Chain A
Amino acid sequence: MTQASLGESVVQKTVHAQQNNGVAASLTHTQPLWLLAEVTYRCPLHCAFCYNPTDYDKHTQNELTTEQWLQALRDARKLGALQLGISGGEPLLRDDIEDIVVEAKKLGYYSNLITSGVGLTEKRIQAFKEGGLDHIQLSMHDITEEINNFITNTKTFELKKKVAAMIKNHGYPMVLNVVIHRYNIGHMREILEMAQALGADYIELANTQYYGWSLVNRSQLMPTKEQVDEAEAITNEFRANPDNKMKIFFVVPDYFSDRPKKCMNGWGEVFMIVTANGDVLPCHSARVLPNMQFPNVRDSGLAYAWQDSPTFNKYRGDAWMKEPCRSCSEKENDLGGCRCQAFLLSGDAEAADPVCSKSPHRHLIDQAIIDSKNPQSVAQPIVFRNDKNSKKILAGELNDRVKAFHALP
């Protein structure tokens, strides 16, 4: 799965569009706008930056049935969800995406298939078109076959170009997602040119954020601040050219910022994620948090999950905050940042996101930046996202790579 839905760019428009939806109001009046269906954690790609949980292997045997997914779609729509992301893993590994698409159309969702492109055939895309799928977001990795194949640990370069053409031929808007890291950040201009040549309408340049597999591989993936600045400058230059019609979202990496991101646009504010096994989460990586019981669609409906579950209410608003967030004049801007990042790095889920320069844990971020330049950390092999490595992590065989974190990423 790509990092699209973690990207703030996705929700900026929502924020803009609902200026009246203040934090306090959200305690009682909030509605989910986005349902993200992570229909499977199985994936033919093995991306080093995947933010799926590293222990995903234990969730691959108990996926929801088609009927359970259709019911989840109906329930979320009743609550107000409008945008549907069909994601994973690779959603196309399930053969019922066509059924999900048809139901989404019937219910009035704006539906989006978030895919690596592997498994997208003429037959399937035609069925999606007829079924009413609104758009397809394709992950791309680089302009070079070498980096594409290296970072995904697969030979998928040619296939992605073919799939891009297929998407275009079927009259879909082309939305590309490129996760940015050390290995492709130097190719920003070429990546933008490639996207334009492919006829992309939108491109999301999602700087890697460090969750799941990307946290394990942080030292290997992190670019330098100078590289990020240059990439952003190239992006702005590209945007400034009136001949370039493609819309570009540049998702800023929070490690190089001194304020955290407003993660998921606020906990339980906009996004509702249903995972492959039916867990309902306010954010993709919420399962790293301690002492939480996540609702599951097999046991209770989505209305309970969203409105009444202790989990979704836990970090709504700002009553849970401690210092320095509690009295911070900027707390409404970012709501204290990301709870998962705070816990993973500091061991305290209520702490300020360590990215914040006011956080007593900021040194952890600075150290990570230093480590990413340390030849010894950098020389460690990348742990690619695959079943074998997930099993190893579960068995404790890669403890040296995760011991610095307060939960399995």
Chain B
Amino acid sequence: MTSATTSTIAHTDVYALALHHRFQWEEAQQNYVILFPEGMVKLHGGAGEVLKRLDGKLSVADVVADLKAAFPDASNIEADIIGMFELAVSKGWLRKL
């Protein structure tokens, strides 16, 4: 856990999917995707786990806590989660509420 100190992501922030974006599970591809005008992104396992928890109410800290509980064996999971938020925000997939 190092990125939080320099990160643009605060633990109290609440994020939701950006407008006109859609997040869904793809059976044919066995992964989550984000769909938006003119493009799409396939998400690998961990990234999908973060995004599917964004219900417009949970804060970043809540998501971290929830994922830690769901994946107790994953090491350094918090840095990964914050990293995912940073990426998703920089790509415009998420908006801050």
Binds B, one of A10-18, A309-317, A354-362, A401-409: A10-18
Q: Are B38 and A17 in contact (CB under 8 A)?
A: no
Q: Convert A131-153 into 0s and 1s, putting 1 for each residue whose CB lies closer than 8 angstroms to a CB of B.
A: 00011010000000000000000
Residues of A within 8 A of B28 (CB): 31, 78-80
> Quick one: which of B33, B36, B38 has the most chain A CB within 10 A?
B38
| A110 contacts B by Cβ under 8 Å | yes
- A79–B26 Cα gap in the complex (Å)? 11
| B40 contacts A by Cβ under 8 Å | yes
Query: Nearest Cβ distance between residue A124 and chain B, in whole angstroms?
Result: 19
- Whether A202 contacts B38 in the complex (CB less than 8 A), given A80-B29, A173-B19, comes out as yes
Q: Are B41 and A17 in contact (CB under 8 A)?
A: yes
| A126 contacts B by Cβ under 8 Å | no
Chain B 1-41 interface residues, beta-carbon cutoff 8 Å to A: 19-20, 22, 24, 26, 28-29, 33, 35-41
- A33–B29 Cα gap in the complex (Å)? 10
Q: Can you name the residue of chain A whose Cβ is closest to the Cβ of B92?
A: A247
> Quick one: which of A4, A18, A82, A135 has the most chain B CB within 10 A?
A82
Q: Are A173 and B37 in contact (CB under 8 A)?
A: yes
| A112 contacts B by Cβ under 8 Å | yes
Q: Can you name the residue of chain B whose Cβ is closest to the Cβ of A11?
A: B39
Q: Are B22 and A110 in contact (CB under 8 A)?
A: yes
Q: Are B40 and A135 in contact (CB under 8 A)?
A: no
| B42 contacts A by Cβ under 8 Å | yes
Q: Are A17 and B42 in contact (CB under 8 A)?
A: yes
Residues of A within 8 A of B19 (CB): 173
Query: Nearest Cβ distance between residue A39 and chain B, in whole angstroms?
Result: 19
Q: Can you name the residue of chain B whose Cβ is closest to the Cβ of A109?
A: B35
Residues of A within 8 A of B35 (CB): 82-83, 110, 134
- Whether A13 contacts B39 in the complex (CB less than 8 A), given A110-B22, A173-B19, A201-B20, comes out as yes
Q: Are A204 and B38 in contact (CB under 8 A)?
A: yes
- A258–B4 Cα gap in the complex (Å)? 44
| A183 contacts B by Cβ under 8 Å | no
Chain A 1-58 interface residues, beta-carbon cutoff 8 Å to B: 4, 9-10, 12-14, 16-18, 31, 33
Q: Are B26 and A137 in contact (CB under 8 A)?
A: no
Residues of B within 8 A of A137 (CB): 37-38
Give the interface SS of chain B, mostly helix, strand, loop or mixed: strand
- A363–B7 Cα gap in the complex (Å)? 52
Residues of B within 8 A of A352 (CB): none
Q: Are B20 and A17 in contact (CB under 8 A)?
A: no
Q: Are A173 and B20 in contact (CB under 8 A)?
A: yes
Q: Are B38 and A14 in contact (CB under 8 A)?
A: no
Query: Nearest Cβ distance between residue A132 and chain B, in whole angstroms?
Result: 11
Choose from A12, A79, A175 the contact partner of B37 (Cβ within 8 Å): A175
Query: Nearest Cβ distance between residue B38 and chain A, in whole angstroms?
Result: 5
Chain B 44-94 interface residues, beta-carbon cutoff 8 Å to A: 92
Q: Can you name the residue of chain A whose Cβ is closest to the Cβ of B36?
A: A110
Residues of B within 8 A of A10 (CB): 38-39
| A108 contacts B by Cβ under 8 Å | yes
Residues of B within 8 A of A157 (CB): none
- A10–B39 Cα gap in the complex (Å)? 6
| A249 contacts B by Cβ under 8 Å | yes
Q: Are B37 and A201 in contact (CB under 8 A)?
A: yes
Q: Are A108 and B24 in contact (CB under 8 A)?
A: yes
Choose from B38, B42, B92 the contact partner of A9 (Cβ within 8 Å): B38
Residues of A within 8 A of B33 (CB): 82
- A367–B28 Cα gap in the complex (Å)? 47
- Whether A33 contacts B20 in the complex (CB less than 8 A), given A80-B29, A82-B33, A83-B35, comes out as no
- Whether A134 contacts B20 in the complex (CB less than 8 A), given A80-B26, A80-B28, comes out as yes
Q: What would be 8 A-B contacts, judged by CB atoms less than 8 Å apart?
A: A17-B42, A79-B28, A82-B26, A83-B35, A108-B24, A172-B20, A202-B38, A247-B92
Given contacts A10-B38, A173-B37, 14 further A-B contacts (CB under 8 A): A4-B38, A9-B38, A13-B40, A14-B39, A31-B28, A31-B29, A80-B28, A82-B26, A82-B33, A82-B35, A82-B40, A83-B40, A201-B20, A249-B38
The 4 A-B pairs with the shortest beta carbon distances in the complex, nearest first, are A13-B39, A110-B35, A80-B28, A173-B20
